[in-house]
């Protein structure tokens, strides 16, 4: 719990508005959360991830910041995060992150991946998620409303089903880079090998 508190101190500024936005967003707005960078960038990376996936946590904790600094923040890559939950805990965590809203989505995703072991492997993941929600400013009522949002749940599950059917996504993380599928964790050096030729073409 001490580590979890430390994580939230670091990301407090990012998720500070969670309590104010959680109940004011439509399902469409919540499902639209999860994009970074220039939409007109020459390269688009779509990540399919489950918040209970250790390899997705490896990417989030060890590669994403380098990718963001080198490619997303410089306008070279448009990054899209899409949920592909493998279990109930992953689904519920995805719902909570969506309820944070577009402005706070990635801050919450970062917290959930950094603290993955403390909630995903607990005896009661939902209770642990509720604690994380409270630390991030989400009241019990807001958390309960989020967990009971059937339209949001269906939207996430339908997105996963569409990825399975149309893109044959079977594992996480899966990256779709300008239409080409890559499965599994990749360090920044692997992204460099894929992205630099695409950017040279652009």
pLDDT digits (tens, 9 = 90+) for 14-47: 444 444 444 467 888 888 889 999 999 999 999 9
What is the model's pLDDT at position 202?
A: 59
pLDDT band for 3, please (50, 70, 90 cuts). Answer: low
pLDDT band for 89, please (50, 70, 90 cuts). Answer: very high
What is the model's pLDDT at position 6?
A: 52
Q: Kindly tell me if the per-residue pLDDT of 11 is higher than 80.
A: no
pTM, two decimals, is: 0.88
What is the model's pLDDT at position 193?
A: 98
Q: Kindly tell me if the per-residue pLDDT of 54 is higher than 90.
A: yes
Domain 2-201 bears CATH identifier 3.40.30.10:
yes
9's tokens: 């101190």
Q: Kindly tell me if the per-residue pLDDT of 94 is higher than 70.
A: yes
Q: Kindly tell me if the per-residue pLDDT of 91 is higher than 70.
A: yes
- Between CA 33 and CA 100 the distance in angstroms is 9
> What are the extents of the domains in the chain?
2-201
What is the model's pLDDT at position 27?
A: 86
179's tokens: 């239409």
pLDDT band for 101, please (50, 70, 90 cuts). Answer: confident
DSSP collapsed to 3 states, the chain:
CHHHHHHHHHHHHHHCCHHHHCCCCCHHHHHHCCEECCCCCCEEEEEEECCCCHHHHHHHHHCHHHHHHHHHCCCCEEEEEEECCCCHHHHHHHHHHHHCCCCCHHHHHHHHHHCHHHHHCCCCHHHHHHHHHHHCCCCHHHHHHHHCCHHHHHHHHHHHHHHHHHHCCCCCCEEEECCEEEECCCCHHHHHHHHHHHHHHC
pLDDT digits (tens, 9 = 90+) for 112-156: 999 999 999 999 999 999 999 888 777 899 999 999 999 999 999
Out of 50-54, 69-73, 138-142, pick the least confident: 138-142
110's tokens: 């970062």
% residues pLDDT > 70 (the chain): 88
What is the model's pLDDT at position 13?
A: 41
């Amino acid at each position: 719990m001490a580590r979890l508190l430390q994580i939230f101190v670091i990301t407090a500024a990012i998720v500070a508005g969670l309590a104010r936005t959680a109940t004011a967003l439509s399902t469409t707005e919540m499902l639209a959360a999860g994009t970074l960078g220039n939409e007109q960038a020459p390269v688009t990376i779509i990540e399919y991830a489950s918040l209970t996936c250790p390899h997705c946590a490896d990417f989030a904790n060890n590669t994403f910041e380098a990718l963001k600094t080198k490619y997303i923040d410089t306008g070279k890559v448009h990054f899209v995060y899409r949920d592909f939950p493998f279990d109930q805990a992953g689904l519920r965590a995805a719902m909570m992150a969506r309820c944070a809203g577009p402005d706070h989505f990635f801050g919450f995703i970062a917290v959930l991946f950094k603290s993955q072991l403390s909630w995903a492997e607990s005896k009661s993941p939902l209770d642990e998620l509720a604690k994380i929600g409270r630390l991030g400013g989400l009241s019990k009522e807001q958390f309960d409303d989020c967990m009971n949002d059937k339209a949001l749940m269906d939207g996430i599950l339908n997105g996963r089903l569409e990825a399975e059917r149309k893109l044959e996504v079977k594992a996480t993380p899966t990256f779709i880079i300008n239409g080409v599928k890559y499965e599994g964790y990749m360090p920044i050096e692997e992204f460099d090998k894929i992205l630099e030729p695409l950017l040279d073409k652009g």
